[in-house]
Amino acid sequence: MRKFKSNLIVALCGASVLLALVPLAMILFYVISRGFSALNWAFFTQTPKPVGEAGGGMGNAIVGTLILIVIAGVIAIPVGVLSGVHLAEFKGTRFSSMVRFAADVLNGVPSIVIGIFAYAIIVLPLKRFSAIAGGFALAIIVIPVVARTTEELLRLVPGGLKEAALALGATRAKAMFSVILPAALPGILTGILVALARVAGETAPLLFTAFNNRFFSTNVTQPIGSLTVQVFTYALSPYDDWIRQAWAGALVLVTMILILSIIARVATRRLERMARG
Amino acid sequence: MPIIKTSEDRALRLGTGAFAVFVVLLVAGIGVVLTQQSVLSIRKFGLAFWTRSTWNPVSGEFGALPFIWGTLYSSLIALLIAAPIALGIAIFINEISPLKLRQPLSYLTELLAAIPSIVYGLWGIFVLVPIVRKLELLAPEWLKKVPLFTGPPLGVGMLSAGVILAVMVVPLTSSVAREILRGVPMTQREAALALGATRWEAIRIALGYGRTGIIGAVMLGLGRALGETMAVTMVIGNNPQVSTSLFAPQYTMAAVIANEFTEAADELYLHALIEIGLVLFLITIVVNALSRILTRRVVRA
Amino acid sequence: MDEVKITVRDFDFYYGTNKVLHAISLDIPKNRVTALIGPSGCGKSTFLRSINRMNDIIPGIRVDGKILVDDVDVYGSGIDVVSLRRRVGMVFQKSNPFPKSIYENVAYGLRINGLRDKRKLDEAVSRSLDRAALLDEVKDRLNASALALSGGQQQRLCIARALAVDPDVLLMDEPASALDPIATQKIEELVFDLKKNYTIVIVTHNMQQAARVSDRTAFFMLGKLVEYDDTRTIFMNPSVKLTEDYITGRFG
Ligand SMILES: Nc1ncnc2c1ncn2[C@@H]1O[C@H](COP(=O)(O)OP(=O)(O)OP(=O)(O)O)[C@@H](O)[C@H]1O
Ligand SMILES: [Mg+2]
């Protein structure tokens, strides 16, 4: 009886793994099959057609997403990495546990709320939606991830390395920036890459910051289109062609994120092996 | 040579500290700014904002009860579905599966976390909702008298939202739960096994040892579900009503912000939406802070 | 000659492809204390954990040969590992109480076996605590957390917990190595008392301890059983030079 119960629960645990893989398989299947058939050259090069007209593409939105990511990276990388350095180097202090806690809390703040914050800080004073506001919102999402990743990777650097540098008369700052940080850099870069890839999939914080734009735009003080917002708009539209393009957009998004995560996965695995020696 | 902190070390501390302060300021800033931007609504409606269910932008009457209800209800459903599955996954990968399968399985389940919420939403509208509608059509008449299952079978509604949230929450909860299980000393399971415990009984000992952390893992999932926006708004039906029915189209806090923010023509309307955002912020902070405390204590011990 | 409780014949053990026990053969007598000694890494723990098949939880292990407990091959087909482990109890090097009350720790093995009767549970708990020489120290706070006990008390609690399911064999892997001298002495006295009712196999790194508590001693080296005899013989008059060198401390 006890044996039976044990085996039953073990089987149920196995079943829950399968159960979780069902939606994964379904999503990938639909995104690939529906998205692929709607992909064409125009999708990458053209801008959306006026309401109801078939054809056109998401070229502007793809560029827009890239611009937003660059803005987010420019803001988030220095703040995230240097906060991470602080957390790793001064780990015992009360201040750093406060920062760590704040980073963890920030990580859990819904992205829509972060969108409101960016709206209040940037859109309201400038009196218009802008790529800057969208990028800023995304940056806030990226910062805690980068900070914590940096901290963790710096801690993985063998302590001997730091001691060797200090023993040679390097200051703490020198040791950090010339020895420890470079040693952890490949890992930190992959971490940043993954964080930026993930944030490229964000929609909610862009809705009322970057807003949307049917045309190609590289002006960061103007509203800008993005893949995610464009997919959202098209998904809820009544036009078949737009819905097909929404799937294509989803495919592009998923492909981009998966490729980056896989690269990061392989890279971290290799790094771990190197760290172990 | 006296051992003193060089000025360069001071600079390191202060220089990097300045950026770290930014992280703390962001959290505080969000709270302050959202409060500032919702004063009109807070002043005008007070606590009644959270107990009234009229949401009428035209007449300027704003009651957020349906949204907080929808948020809590959908998250609860998501947790009821996701928690056992996530735990099952964590147990399977950590305690049962052969070593060789561990990496690929955990990678696959974590892939679920990498899929953007808009893609979940797209899948939700065109794949999940039709399936749910078919299931709802299958519901026998007697079942439809139960308050949980009343109303027309639309597909969009609370059930679809709960399911999609569950799928989205599983990877986070299961990966944290795995972390917790990994922190449970092997000797705990061995002690149980040596007393003649079955495999499951030994796993239960491990779960018991890490129970605070496991609760934390589930709460982390809750925090995620509460704030999830796009996928939910695409399948929940966006109808501000308080209903116990799983079939009924409802609304959530995050969804109403996403849908109405750019339409909010007057300031009171905008402030009412931001007040919803403020409360969502506060709720998720409490939930996340609690879960961090719970998970951290165990991982440290 | 004593009655034999455990018979080991040509027992080999592999972690993956790494063979760590080579053709071990020995007879462990009933109601006696048998000590396993030998340098670190020679396979004492592996051997001990083979007797109640605790090694089964390690992936990739393989065994050859036989271990018979009461003439039944524990690696034979149709063996129920769960009930084997109930009959062959184990105490670990580091005490590992569950984060539950003292009472619940001791009652655990009985509870999972379906014992619900409160009176019987109470009885078994205090009997086991008594046998483990812990009852007097904890009888007023059975509901206190086991983690609040001292290291030595925790280890005796683990012994009580193992005794509660009423095994006939008790395997102990360096049960006192993490304890101070006084707590160690208590455990040794306990082992001495317990052999009236149990067959005990104990791993120890402490030569005096082996000499004090055991009746038989087995000396392992590099995964081989070098010598196995009465403890007095092993310590006073070993027949193998290696054993003598080890005991007199002439090598690690
Ligand atoms: N889980 C394992 N996987 C692989 N090899 C192992 C494992 N456990 C032990 N070994 C190897 O098996 C050999 C015997 O180990 P064992 O723990 O049985 O030695 P021991 O005599 O108990 O040592 P000690 O006195 O240090 O406790 C050692 O070479 C060890 O490296
Ligand atoms: Mg050992």
Cα angle, residue A52 at apex, residues A48 and A53 outer, rounded to 5°: 60
CA distance B298 to B300: 5
Chain C 113-132, residues with CB within 8 Å of chain A CB atoms = 113-114
- Stretches where chain B sits below pLDDT 50 are 1-2, 299-301
pLDDT of residue B5: 61
* Cα(C118) to centroid(ligand 1), Å: 42
Three-class DSSP category at B213: helix
- For residues A243 and A231, the answer to whether their CB atoms sit within 8 Å is no
B122, exposed or middle or buried, with CB in 10 Å at 0-12, 13-18, 19+?
Answer: buried
Query: Per residue in A71-121, pLDDT tens?
Result: 999 999 999 999 999 999 998 899 999 999 999 999 999 999 999 999 999
Q: Tens digit of pLDDT for each residue in C115-174?
A: 999 999 999 999 999 989 999 999 999 999 999 999 999 999 999 999 999 999 999 999
Q: What local confidence, expressed as pLDDT, does residue C24 receive?
A: 96
If you average pLDDT over residues C230-250, what whole number do you get? 89
pLDDT at B4: 54
Q: Whose CA is nearest to atom 26 of ligand 1?
A: C40
Please give the residue that has the higher pLDDT: either C201 or A3.
C201
**Confidence class for position A246, pLDDT limits 50, 70, 90:** very high
HEC per residue, B160-195: HHHHHHHHHHHHHHHHHHHHHHHHCCHHHHHHHHHC
For residue B8, give Cα distances in angstroms to A49, A151, A171, B13, B14: 58, 21, 7, 9, 10
Q: What domains sit in chain A, N to C, each tagged with a CATH number?
A: 39-276 (1.10.3720.10)
For residue C170, give the 3-state DSSP assignment: strand
Q: Which of B271, B157, B273, B294 is nearest to B223 (CA)?
A: B294
Q: Which residues of A32-63 are buried (b: 16+ CB within 10 A; e: fewer)?
A: eebbeebbeeebeebbbbeeeeeebbbbbbbb
Q: Nearest Cβ partner of A112 from B89, B171, B227?
A: B227
Residue A187's pLDDT band, with cuts at 50, 70 and 90, is: confident
Tens-digit pLDDT profile for residues C18-65:
999 999 999 999 999 999 999 999 999 999 999 999 999 898 899 999
pTM as predicted = 0.91
Position B191 scores a pLDDT of 96
- Determine the distance in angstroms separating the CA of A44 from the nearest CA of chain C, rounded to an integer: 50
Q: Report, at the CATH architecture level, how domain C4-96+169-247 is classified.
A: 3-Layer(aba) Sandwich (3.40)
Which overall architecture, per CATH, does domain B18-300 show?
Orthogonal Bundle (1.10)
Q: Pairing between strand C169-173 and C88-91? A: parallel
**Contact yes or no for A3 and C112 at CB 8 A:** no
What pLDDT, in 10s, does the model give residues A199-239? 999 999 999 999 999 999 999 999 999 999 999 999 999 99
Encode pLDDT of B156-191 as tens digits: 999 999 999 999 999 999 999 999 999 999 999 999
Q: Of how many residues is chain A composed?
A: 277
- Is ipTM over 0.95? no
pLDDT at A165 over 90: no
Q: Check B191 against C85: CB less than 8 A apart.
A: no
CB contacts of C114 in chain A (<8 Å) are 2
Kindly provide the residue ranges of all beta strands, DSSP E only, lying in chain A, ordered along the sequence: none
| Separation CA A214–CA A47 (nearest Å) | 6
Q: How far apart, in whole angstroms, are the C-alpha atoms of residue A96 and residue C86?
A: 50
Q: Do A201 and B118 touch (CB under 8 A)?
A: yes
C49 CA to centre of ligand 2 in angstroms? 10
Reply yes or no on whether the pLDDT at A15 is more than 80: yes
| Structure confidence at residue B84 (pLDDT) | 97
Q: Which of A97, A152, A78 is nearest to B18 (CA)?
A: A78
Span of A177-186, B86-95, C103-112 with lowest mean pLDDT: A177-186
Give the C-alpha distances (Å, rounded to integers) separating C107 from A80, C101, C115. 51, 10, 9
Computed over every residue of chain C, the mean pLDDT equals 93
Which tokens in the block code for residue B142? 């007697």
| Listed residue (B158, B214, B143, B133) closest to B181, CA to CA | B214
Characterize A166-204 residue by residue with b for buried, 16 or more Cβ atoms within 10 angstroms of its Cβ, and e for exposed: eeeebbbbbbbeebbbebbeebbebbbbbbbbbbbbbbb
Closest CA to A189 of A270, A79, A77: A77
- Asked if A142 and A206 touch (Cβ cutoff 8 Å), the reply is no
Considering only alpha carbons, which residue of chain C is nearest residue B96?
C57
- With CB atoms and an 8 Å threshold, state whether B194 touches C54: yes
Q: Taking the domains of chain C in order of start, what are their residue ranges?
A: 4-96+169-247
Rounded to whole angstroms, the Cα distance separating C113 from A143 reads 52
- Answer whether residue C233 shows pLDDT above 50: yes
Name the least confident of B139-148, B194-203, C8-17, C188-197: B139-148
pLDDT above 70: residue A276: no
Q: Does B76 touch chain A (CB under 8 A)?
A: no
Interface test with chain C among B195, B204, B211, by most C beta carbons within 10 Å: B195
Which residue puts its alpha carbon closest to atom 16 of ligand 1?
C43
Virtual CA dihedral for B181, B183, B187, B189, nearest 10 degrees? -10
Sheet containing C169-173: which strands, arranged edge to edge?
Answer: C88-91, C169-173, C199-203, C33-37, C216-221, C224-230
Q: How far, in Å, CA of C146 to CA of C91, rounded?
A: 16
In whole angstroms, what is the distance from residue B78 CA to residue B218 CA? Answer: 11
Question: What stretch of H or E contains C73?
Answer: strand C72-73
d(CA A134, CA A122): 9
Mean pLDDT check: name the lowest of A141-145, A210-214, A267-271, C14-18: A267-271
C-alpha–C-alpha distance, residues A106 and A195, integer Å: 14
The single residue listed with the structure tokens 């902190």 is: B5
The amino acid at C16: G
Kindly tell me if the per-residue pLDDT of A270 is higher than 80: no
